[in-house]
């Protein structure tokens, strides 16, 4: 029996995205009919005989639970294939390992701080160069390409300033120059934005965030648009090794099923909180792009930051985002501490900026929590 016969195709292909999310992994195990994909907690697989294979050899190269997850993710993002990694940063590492010394990468300047750190402190040692540009300005992007530029990576909306970029235009600018376009789609998820459909080449996720959705696992994803790119990602994944473990693949599959309902509620809460913060006398500015469930805001006085972080009772003062529990973060000292100071100043990541990942709690409790925390002490 081949793996094609043993395992079916889950994820309700051809149906609406919210249906496909719920159906992730369903009908994959055609042997037992398990609705929840079994956790194949095995590092290796026996060969039936010399030259014969069940389709699986060793879990780094392939594992049925990971296969069910990767098939679902490829379908959801509209890509050829998806690959699951041990964290978002290991997914980004795999993408950067596709390049060589002397290659140049162009990046959006408003990026997760760990992406900066990975390029500026690790990959720079191996001769990969990087420069940063305001991706909200297509003319600035067009002017920033170099002859040795091989790829462009951006987040839209960006993090933490939540600025949006025109992905279709950027994909076109890249394609015209033979440059790969890569989007970190962590904040939007395929439920809200599918960069491959806009012409981009690779999608990356920290699946730790919305895809998992429960603040209980670290995971990363790379989705490739076509077969040639898929082969390159698959090669790097197997050669470098940071695959997502079977149990975490199962947790991520379980999280995916409720993505649509979680995000609907999170967006509704975020829009309501953004509106409430806009009218607050101690808030100078609110950054909310009108979609998704992340918002940042600038308070009028730096002293209010410690006051808010020390007083919230429903919202937790913690790093990360995208889970069902609301979290408040201080980007200057947490997520964006590794961004060069000059860049942070220019972008507005300063001692008065706070970021909230809005969860699914009752909006009246979230509002009341901020109301009691956002006061002069
Ligand atoms: C947009 C974005 N990309 C990548 C990462 C890195 O992901 P991970 O923490 O899963 O390694 C993060 C983490 O916060 C992130 O916010």
Per residue in 80-121, pLDDT (tens digit) is 999 999 999 999 999 999 999 999 999 999 899 999 999 999
Report the greatest alpha carbon distance in the chain.
Answer: 74
Is residue 295 within 8 Å of 286, Cβ to Cβ? Answer: yes
Q: How far is CA 13 from the centre of its chain?
A: 23
From the candidates 150, 209, 257, 265, give the one annotated as an active-site residue.
209
Which pLDDT score is estimated for 9? 65
CATH class of 260-373: alpha beta
Per-residue confidence at 10, pLDDT binned at 50, 70, 90? low
From the candidates 75, 110, 134, 184, give the one annotated as an active-site residue.
184
For ligand 1, mutation pick of 90, 91, 92, 112 (most atoms within 8 Å of CB): 112
Mean pLDDT of the chain: 95
Per-residue confidence at 4, pLDDT binned at 50, 70, 90? very low
Determine the length of the chain.
377
Of 326, 348, 327, 325, nearest to 336 (Cα)?
A: 348
Which pLDDT score is estimated for 143? 98
Residues of each domain in the chain carrying CATH 3.40.640.10: 3-257
228 is catalytic: no
Which pLDDT score is estimated for 205? 98
Which pLDDT score is estimated for 356? 98
Residues of each domain in the chain carrying CATH 3.90.1150.10: 260-373
User: Which residues, at least 6 apart from 262, have a Cβ–Cβ distance to it below 8 Å?
Assistant: 210, 213, 324, 360
Cα-to-centroid distance, 260 and ligand 1 (Å): 20
Residue % of the chain over a pLDDT of 70:
97
112 is catalytic: yes
What phi-psi label fits residue 320: left (phi over 0), alpha (psi between -120 and 50 degrees) or beta? left
DSSP label of 122: I
pLDDT of 78 higher than 90: yes
Pick the CATH number of 3-257 from 3.20.20.80, 3.40.640.10, 1.10.150.130, 1.10.3720.10: 3.40.640.10
Is residue 163 within 8 Å of 110, Cβ to Cβ? Answer: yes
CA dihedral 171, 176, 180, 183 (to 10 degrees): -10
132 is catalytic: no
177 is catalytic: no
- Say yes or no: CB of residue 155 within 6 Å of ligand 1: yes
| Per-position b or e across 78-114, b if 16+ CB within 10 A of its CB | bbbbbbbbbbbbbbbbbbbbbbeeebbbbbbbbbbbb
Per-residue confidence at 11, pLDDT binned at 50, 70, 90? low
Which pLDDT score is estimated for 336? 85
């Amino acid at each position: 029996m081949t793996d094609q016969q043993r395992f079916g195709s889950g994820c309700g292909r051809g149906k609406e995205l919210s249906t496909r999310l719920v159906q992730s992994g369903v009908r994959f195990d055609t042997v037992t009919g398990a609705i929840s994909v079994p956790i194949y907690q095995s590092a290796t697989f026996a060969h039936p005989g010399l030259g014969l294979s069940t389709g699986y050899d060793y879990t780094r190269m392939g594992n049925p639970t990971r296969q069910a997850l990767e098939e679902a993710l490829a379908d959801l993002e509209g890509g050829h294939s998806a690959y699951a990694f041990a964290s978002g940063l290991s997914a980004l590492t795999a993408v950067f390992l596709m390049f060589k010394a002397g290659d140049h990468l162009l990046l959006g300047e408003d990026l997760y701080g760990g992406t900066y750190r990975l390029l500026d402190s690790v990959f720079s040692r191996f001769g990969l160069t990087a420069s940063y540009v305001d991706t909200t300005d297509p003319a600035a992007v067009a002017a920033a390409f170099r002859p040795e530029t091989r790829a462009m990576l951006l987040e839209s909306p960006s993090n933490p300033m939540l600025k949006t970029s025109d992905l279709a235009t950027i994909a076109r600018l890249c394609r015209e120059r033979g440059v790969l376009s890569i989007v970190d789609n962590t904040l939007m998820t395929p439920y809200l934005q599918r960069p491959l459909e806009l012409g981009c080449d690779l999608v990356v996720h920290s699946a730790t965030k919305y895809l998992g959705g429960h603040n209980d696992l670290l995971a990363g994803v790379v989705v490739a648009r076509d077969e040639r790119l898929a082969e390159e990602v698959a090669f790097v994944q197997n050669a470098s090794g940071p695959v997502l473990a079977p149990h975490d693949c199962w947790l991520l599959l379980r999280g995916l099923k409720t993505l649509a309902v979680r995000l609907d509620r999170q967006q509704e809460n975020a829009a309501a909180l953004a509106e409430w913060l806009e009218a607050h006398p101690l808030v100078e500015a609110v950054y909310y792009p009108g979609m998704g469930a992340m918002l940042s805001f600038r308070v009028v006085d730096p002293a209010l930051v410690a006051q808010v972080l020390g007083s919230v009772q429903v919202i937790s003062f913690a790093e990360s985002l995208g889970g069902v529990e609301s979290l408040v973060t201080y980007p200057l000292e947490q997520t964006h501490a590794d961004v060069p100071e000059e860049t942070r100043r220019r972008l507005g990541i300063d001692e008065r900026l706070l970021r909230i990942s809005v969860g699914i709690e009752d909006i009246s409790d979230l509002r009341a929590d901020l109301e009691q925390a956002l006061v002069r002490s």
